[in-house]
Amino acid sequence: MTKHLGLHETLDLHELLAFKNLCLTKSTTMSKLAQDEELQTILEADAAAGIQHIQQIQRFLTNRGEQV
């Protein structure tokens, strides 16, 4: 495997990161507005998973694909 990401791979990861940030914002906002407790729990779990995904993508971009 190569040690660096290609330009198209980096751009794809940036696009995915922007999408995940949007999803996190929406889940966090909607969890505060939701009145149903089960829905709040689902949205909060989605937000927690989104944070982990964003951190993984950021680490991958920071390492520039050097470590998998």
Cα gap 58→14, rounded to integer Å? 9
Residues with Cβ < 8 Å from 14, sequence gap 6 or more?
A: 61
Decide: 47 and 3 in contact? Cβ < 8 Å: no
Cα gap 1→20, rounded to integer Å? 26
- The answer to whether the predicted template modeling score (pTM) of the entire model surpasses 0.85 is no
Confidence band for 5, pLDDT divided at 50, 70 and 90? confident
Query: Looking at residue 6, what is its pLDDT?
Result: 87
Q: Is the pLDDT of residue 65 over 60?
A: no
Query: Looking at residue 21, what is its pLDDT?
Result: 97
Query: Looking at residue 1, what is its pLDDT?
Result: 47
For residue range 18-61, list pLDDT tens digits in order.
Answer: 999 999 999 999 999 999 999 999 999 999 999 999 999 999 88
